Structure 1
C-alpha cells in the first residue's frame, strides 16, 4: 500500500477550492446474489481489518481527514466551551449503591475526564476515594461495579479506550487492595453479582476476547467464580454447549442474576429482542454440579421484563397491550395467559421500564417527551404516583436487597440532570444532598424555546418532532439546523440535556430530534412499524421531519445537517441516498450503513430479530432496501459527509463506516468533502469526556464550515 504525504499548502488549496485528492482506494469487485438480486461490492477487501493494506488505508484516511479538519478555525473554541459547560455541572455521578450507612458511586470530577470510585459516609458526610482506574494504566475506564452485602468487597468491570471487551477485578475494601482474581472476558453491558455470603461472583463470560473474531459475541456462558481460585476452574451455570436443553441460539446471551431475596437464580437468553426466554432455579441449585433450570417465560408471551418476590411473578408485557401492562401470576404455577392485571395499559402513554426495591415495584409511564414515576406496594398491590418535577424521571434502587431507598434523575432538553432521593415509607422525594453538585449553568429556558410538534409522514402517520431553537431566530430559512434520530429496538429518544448539543445551540444552530418509527415513543406498535419490512418508515419519517424544518422556514437544505448514530446509520445513510438534495451535511456516527453485510460480523446475528436475516428470502429483500452502501450512485450530488468510526468498536466494526466513506468518495458528484473520521482511542462510545469533546468539536466544526457559518470558514490566504 502506498504511503501518502501532503504539504500544508496542498491541503489548504484543497479545502478552499473543494477539490479533494482522497487516499487511493482500489476497487476489487465481489458480486453477491441475494435471491436473484446481484450486488457488486467493490470494497469487500476493506473487511479484513488484520490486513496491513487495510490498516494503512485507515491510517491514510485518518491523516487525510485530520489535515482537512485542522484547517477549520474555532475547533479549539468548541472543545474548550464543551469543557466549560461540563465544569458548570460540577461533578457528575454514575451508578450509585448503598450498603448500610455508606453510598458508593462512580464520579467524574468537573476538571477530570474519567470517573473514579468513591464512598460517602452518610453520618459524617466524609467522601473517600476508593479506586482510580488509571492506576492500572492510562485510559483504563470503569464500566460498572457492584458490592457484596457487607461492603467488604467491590467487583469492578474495567475496559480500555472505549472498548467493550472488559475484565472484572475485585477490590478488598478492608485492605483497599486488588485481589489476584481476574475474571473475563465480559461484555460491557452484562451484569454480575456477589453471592449473599460474598464468597463468589456470578457473571456472563464471552467465548473470546479477540475483537476481530467472528465468535466475539457468540456462545457465551453464565459462570460462577469462587473468589481466590483460578478463573479457569469456574463452573458453567448455563450455556448452549453444556445445557442443550435450554435450546439457546449461538447469538443469545446467557444473562444471569439473583432475585432481591436470593431465593432464586434468574437466567435470560437475551438479544436485541426484548422478549427473551427466561428460566429460574432455586438458589440452592448452585451447590449442584448442574443447574435444573425451569422455563417460566417464552418469547411468544410478549414479556419484556419480570420481577419475582416470594411466589409472586410480576410481568411487564405488551401481549394484547401495545402500550404495555403489568400483570401478576404465581411463580410456582405460572399461568401467564390468565395473569391478574395490576396496572392496565394506558391509551396515551407507555409503561417503559420496571425495577424493584425491597417492598415495592416501580414503573415509568411516558410518552416519549415526559416520563412519570409510579410505585406499587408488592404486598397490597396499591399503586401511587411518585411526586417529582415534570420532565423525564428515571430511577434505580440503592439497595433492593435490604431497603426501599431509590434515587431518581430528572432531566429535560434545557434542564440539566438533578438527582432526588425517595423512600415510599418516608414521604416525598427530596433533592439529594450528596448526589448533586453546585451548578453554574445559564438559564437556558431564557435563551431558547422548545417546541413539540407532530409532522405528517409519507403515509399520513403523525411523527413527533422536538425543535430547540434560539429565541431570536429569524424564520427565513437562513439558520443552520441539526436534526438527529434513531429508530431502533423500541428505544425512545427522550429529552436529555446534552453538553455538546448545548454548545452547538450557542453557535446559533437549531437542534431537532425526530422521534421516528422503530423507536418506542408510542409503544410497541411504533417499534414494529419501523423494523424489518417496515424499516423504510424510519428514514422516511426522518425525511418528513427534515422537510418540515425547511417548509416552516426554520432552515433550508443548504443549512441542514442530518445525523444518525449506530442503528441510526440506516436512518442517515438511506435519508441521504434517497434525498441527497435535502441536506447540506450528513454525520454518520459508528453507523450501520452496510446492512447486507451486517450478519457476517460478530454482532450481526444478534441483530436478526430487529432487521432480519440475509439467509431468509423475504428478509433479504428488506435488507437490500435498508442497505445505504448499495444505494450510492455515480455522479449524484451527495451532501458533505463525515463518517465517524472507533477502531475499538465491536458493535459496528470499523470496515462498515470505512466502506461507506470509500464508495461516497468515489461516486459523489457534488465536489463536497467526504471524510472518514477514525478514532484510535474510542470504540462504539467512551466514558472519556476529553475524547468525546474532541470528536464532537471536530465533527461540529466540519458541519458548521459546510453550512457556511462565518466562524468556521478557513482562511483563503
Structure 2
C-alpha cells in the first residue's frame, strides 16, 4: 500500500509541476509516409531534419527553455551541481592523450584542477618543467565561444606540433602548426581537417593530412565525408602548395570507395610509408605501401597490402616491418608482423596471441619488445611479447582489477612504457613500466576527494532472453540495503565493439552519496568477449543489445537493488539505441530514462553527414535485407500511442556533428504526443556544445547535476519547488 501511495504521489507531483510551468511547445504532425520494401513507414516529424528552419529552431529553443525551468525547480539541484564541482576539482588534474617522443619529450592534454578546458602541454623528461603550448581558453575569451584542442601530432624532432582546434563542440577542426621554441604559428590554419589523420614525414620537414572537401550550398550533408583527400605539404608552405597523394579522386586506380577516408603512417628510420583507409567510424579498411622517396615523384606508386576483408584494425611501422592487429581468424585479435620488402600478407608472421579468455585491446611497439593491453571483462592488464614469444607473459600491475591504457611511443624509442591505470574505486594515475616494475610518473598530482566513500564493486553475469550470460558491474556504498528503494542507474553502450572498462568518475560519487547504485552492463554489441560478442549485437542481431539491457534491469529489480519506481536507464550516442529500445520494449521497468546525444531514428540516420559513416555498423534502409533490422532498432519508430512511458530527458548539443540534434527532437516530440503516464518528457539543449568533445568542466558538471537531479526527482527522492 505504501508503495502505491508513493507512486501516486510522484505522479501527482510531476503533474503539478507541469501545470505550474508554461507547457513545452507542441510540434505539429506533418507525416511523411514512405513505402520501404513493402512496409509503410510513418515519419510525423521529418521536417525536424531541416535544423536550419526557423520554426524548428524556435521549437528547439522553446523545448530547451522549458527543460531549464523544469530542472531548475528540482529541490537541491544547485547544491548537487556544487557538490559535483567539488568532486571534479578535488580529483586533481585531468590528463589524457600522452605521447612520448624522442629526446624524452612528453606531450599531453591537461586540464588543471579547477579549470574549464584541456590545454596542450609538454615537458622534457618526467621531472621536467611543464610548458603550455596551446591554451584554447584564449580563443574562448576572444570569441565568446568555447574552443577545444581536438588532436595533436608532434614532429619527430620535437620542434613543431600540429594540432586541430574547433569551436562550440562542433569538432569542425582546422589544422594549426606551432613552432615550440618561439610559440608562434607556422603558416595559416588549414580548414576541414577534422580527424587525427595527420602525420609528419621522417625528416620532420613536411606533413600529410586528410582534408574534407568544401561543400557547395547545393550539396547534401551526406557528401561531407565523401571524396576526402590526403595532401602532402612542406613545413611553412601555404595550403595552396599542398600536393594530393591519396584518396578516391586522387588515386582512382586503387579502386577506393568515396567514403574511404585516408591517412598516412610514417616512422623515423623507416624507408616506407603506409596509407590506410576507414569510414571514420570503423577502423578496418584497405592498406597500401610505397617508398617515402615517392613523395618527390610526380605520383606515388602505392601497392595494395590488404583489403577490408583482411580485418586489420590497428598498425605500427618500424623499420622494414609493419606490425598490425587483426581479427581475421582471430576472434579475440592477434598481432602480426609483415616484412615490407616483400609485402605479401600471406607471409605475415604471428607476433602476439591473447591468453585464454583474453582480448588484445591495443599495443605499443617499443625498442626491443611489444607490450599489449589485454582485456579480461572490465579489467585490462598488460602483457609483454619479446621476439619469438607469441604467448608473452603477464605483468603485475600496482592496482588489481583496474584498466591499463598504454600511452603512445610512435617512434619506438624506448625500452620502458608509460601507461595510465584506473579502477572502479581509484583515481587514474600515470605509471612507468621498466622491465617488471611500475613506478608512479608524477605527471598527475594525486587528488583528495571531499569525502571518503567505502565502495562495494560487484561483478555479476545476468542470464539474457536466450541464455547468454551478460557481464554487469554494480557499484554502491558498502552496507547498502537491497530493499528496492535505492536510486539505481543502469548504463550501457553496445556498439562498435566498444566495451565499458574499469574507470573512476569522481562526479559519480555525488550519486553514490545520495544512496545511489551504478550498474554498467556490457551488452552484446560490445567487445567484452571479442568479435563474436560484438557480432551478436550487430545489424540483424541488434535486438540482443536491448534485450540484454532488459535482462539487466530485471536482475537489478529481482536482486533488490531497485524497483520499477527507483530504476533509471541511460545510453549515450550509439547507446541511444540501447536506452531507447529498452524503454520502448519494457517501459514498466523504469522510473526514468536519459537519452544522451542518442541515435533515435536509425532508419533516417544515414541521411545525415556522419550517419553515412555508420552504415557499416547498423546497415542501410536502402538495403532490403538490412532495413527490417534498422526499423526494429529505431526508437522513434517503435514509440506507441497511449503507452505509459517513464519520464524521459533527452540531452543534446545543438552543434553535434556525430548524431544530429534532430534525433532527439523527433523522439521527444513523438514521446510527448504518445505517452499517457503523465510523467515529464523534456529536451535539454546546449547551444555551445556538440557530442561532448570540447565541453568544458563547467558544462559537464552542469549536465551531471541535471541528470542526477532529474532521476532523483522521478524516483521520489526529491521534490520540485
TM-score by length of 1: 0.93
Tell me how far apart the structure 2 counterparts of residues 100 and 550 of structure 1 sit (CA, whole Å).
Answer: 56
User: Which stretch shifts more, 691-700 or 303-312?
Assistant: 303-312
User: Which stretch shifts more, 143-152 or 532-541?
Assistant: 143-152
1:611 aligns with 2:618: yes
1:89 aligns with 2:91: yes
Aligned residue runs from structure 1 range 205-244, under 5 A: 205-208=211-214, 213-244=221-252
Partner SS for 1:556: coil
Partner SS for 1:250: coil
Q: 1:164 and 1:16, CA in 2 relative to 1: closer, same or farther beyond 3 A?
A: closer
Of 36, 39, 47, 1:37 maps to: 39
- Residue in 2 that maps onto 1:151: 158
Of 418, 421, 440, 2:432 maps to: 421
Partner SS for 2:42: strand
Q: 1:573 and 1:12, CA in 2 relative to 1: closer, same or farther beyond 3 A?
A: closer
Contact 1:408 1:421 in 2 (8 A): yes
Q: 1:666 and 1:21, CA in 2 relative to 1: closer, same or farther beyond 3 A?
A: same
Q: 1:398 and 1:437, CA in 2 relative to 1: closer, same or farther beyond 3 A?
A: farther
User: Which stretch shifts more, 543-552 or 262-271?
Assistant: 262-271
1:62 aligns with 2:64: yes
- Residue in 2 that maps onto 1:488: 495
Partner SS for 1:163: coil
Q: Deviations over 1:351-392 (max 9, x none)?
A: 112232343322111123211112233588783433322211
User: Which stretch shifts more, 52-61 or 286-295?
Assistant: 286-295
Contact 2:272 2:320 in 1 (8 A): no
> Once the 2 structures are TM-superposed, how far is the Cα of residue 539 of structure 1 from its aligned partner?
0.2
Q: 1:337 and 1:103, CA in 2 relative to 1: closer, same or farther beyond 3 A?
A: closer
> Once the 2 structures are TM-superposed, how far is the Cα of residue 20 of structure 1 from its aligned partner?
7.5
Partner SS for 1:652: coil
Query: What is the RMSD of the two structures over their aligned residues, measured on CA atoms?
Result: 2.3
Q: 1:246 and 1:80, CA in 2 relative to 1: closer, same or farther beyond 3 A?
A: farther
> Once the 2 structures are TM-superposed, how far is the Cα of residue 125 of structure 1 from its aligned partner?
3.5
User: Which stretch shifts more, 616-625 or 321-330?
Assistant: 321-330
> Once the 2 structures are TM-superposed, how far is the Cα of residue 556 of structure 1 from its aligned partner?
0.3
Tell me how far apart the structure 2 counterparts of residues 341 and 129 of structure 1 sit (CA, whole Å).
Answer: 42
Tell me how far apart the structure 2 counterparts of residues 213 and 404 of structure 1 sit (CA, whole Å).
Answer: 47
Contact 1:318 1:325 in 2 (8 A): yes
Of 394, 403, 409, 1:392 maps to: 403
**What 5-or-longer segments of structure 1 have no aligned partner?**
1-10
User: Which stretch shifts more, 402-411 or 689-698?
Assistant: 402-411
Of 191, 202, 210, 1:204 maps to: 210
Q: 1:351 and 1:122, CA in 2 relative to 1: closer, same or farther beyond 3 A?
A: closer
Tell me how far apart the structure 2 counterparts of residues 212 and 134 of structure 1 sit (CA, whole Å).
Answer: 33
- Residue in 2 that maps onto 1:46: 48
1:407 aligns with 2:414: no
Of 100, 106, 110, 1:107 maps to: 110
Partner SS for 1:416: coil
Tell me how far apart the structure 2 counterparts of residues 225 and 467 of structure 1 sit (CA, whole Å).
Answer: 51
Tell me how far apart the structure 1 counterparts of residues 154 and 499 of structure 2 sit (CA, whole Å).
Answer: 30
Number of residue pairs aligned between Structure 1 and Structure 2 = 698
Tell me how far apart the structure 1 counterparts of residues 410 and 324 of structure 2 sit (CA, whole Å).
Answer: 21
Contact 2:492 2:523 in 1 (8 A): yes
Partner SS for 1:156: strand
Contact 2:473 2:520 in 1 (8 A): yes
> Once the 2 structures are TM-superposed, how far is the Cα of residue 56 of structure 1 from its aligned partner?
1.0
Aligned residue runs from structure 1 range 101-500, under 5 A: 101-122=104-125, 125-138=128-141, 139-187=146-194, 189-208=195-214, 213-271=221-279, 272-337=281-346, 339-377=348-386, 383-389=392-398, 390=400, 391-398=402-409, 400-424=411-435, 428-433=437-442, 435-441=443-449, 447-500=454-507
Q: 1:606 and 1:112, CA in 2 relative to 1: closer, same or farther beyond 3 A?
A: same
Tell me how far apart the structure 2 counterparts of residues 580 and 382 of structure 1 sit (CA, whole Å).
Answer: 47
Contact 2:163 2:175 in 1 (8 A): yes
Tell me how far apart the structure 2 counterparts of residues 321 and 452 of structure 1 sit (CA, whole Å).
Answer: 27
Q: Deviations over 1:594-645 (max 9, x none)?
A: 0000111111221111111111111001111111111111110000000011
Tell me how far apart the structure 1 counterparts of residues 351 and 201 of structure 2 sit (CA, whole Å).
Answer: 31
> Once the 2 structures are TM-superposed, how far is the Cα of residue 540 of structure 1 from its aligned partner?
0.2
Q: 1:250 and 1:660, CA in 2 relative to 1: closer, same or farther beyond 3 A?
A: same
Q: Deviations over 1:218-273 (max 9, x none)?
A: 22111122222221331112111121122222222112221353422221111233
Of 648, 653, 659, 2:666 maps to: 659
Partner SS for 2:337: strand
User: Which stretch shifts more, 576-585 or 470-479?
Assistant: 470-479
> Once the 2 structures are TM-superposed, how far is the Cα of residue 44 of structure 1 from its aligned partner?
0.5
Partner SS for 1:450: strand
- Residue in 2 that maps onto 1:28: 30
Q: 1:35 and 1:311, CA in 2 relative to 1: closer, same or farther beyond 3 A?
A: same
Aligned residue runs from structure 1 range 451-600, under 5 A: 451-600=458-607
Partner SS for 1:657: helix
Considering Cα pairs closer than 8 Å and 6+ residues apart, tell me whether 1 or 2 has the greater RCO. Answer: 2
Q: 1:647 and 1:309, CA in 2 relative to 1: closer, same or farther beyond 3 A?
A: same
Tell me how far apart the structure 2 counterparts of residues 381 and 324 of structure 1 sit (CA, whole Å).
Answer: 13
Tell me how far apart the structure 1 counterparts of residues 270 and 391 of structure 2 sit (CA, whole Å).
Answer: 25
Contact 1:69 1:698 in 2 (8 A): yes
> Once the 2 structures are TM-superposed, how far is the Cα of residue 48 of structure 1 from its aligned partner?
0.4
Contact 1:252 1:606 in 2 (8 A): no
Q: 1:586 and 1:491, CA in 2 relative to 1: closer, same or farther beyond 3 A?
A: same
Contact 2:27 2:669 in 1 (8 A): yes
Partner SS for 2:221: coil
Contact 1:393 1:408 in 2 (8 A): yes
> Once the 2 structures are TM-superposed, how far is the Cα of residue 134 of structure 1 from its aligned partner?
2.5
> Once the 2 structures are TM-superposed, how far is the Cα of residue 203 of structure 1 from its aligned partner?
1.1
Contact 1:398 1:405 in 2 (8 A): no
User: Which stretch shifts more, 247-256 or 456-465?
Assistant: 247-256
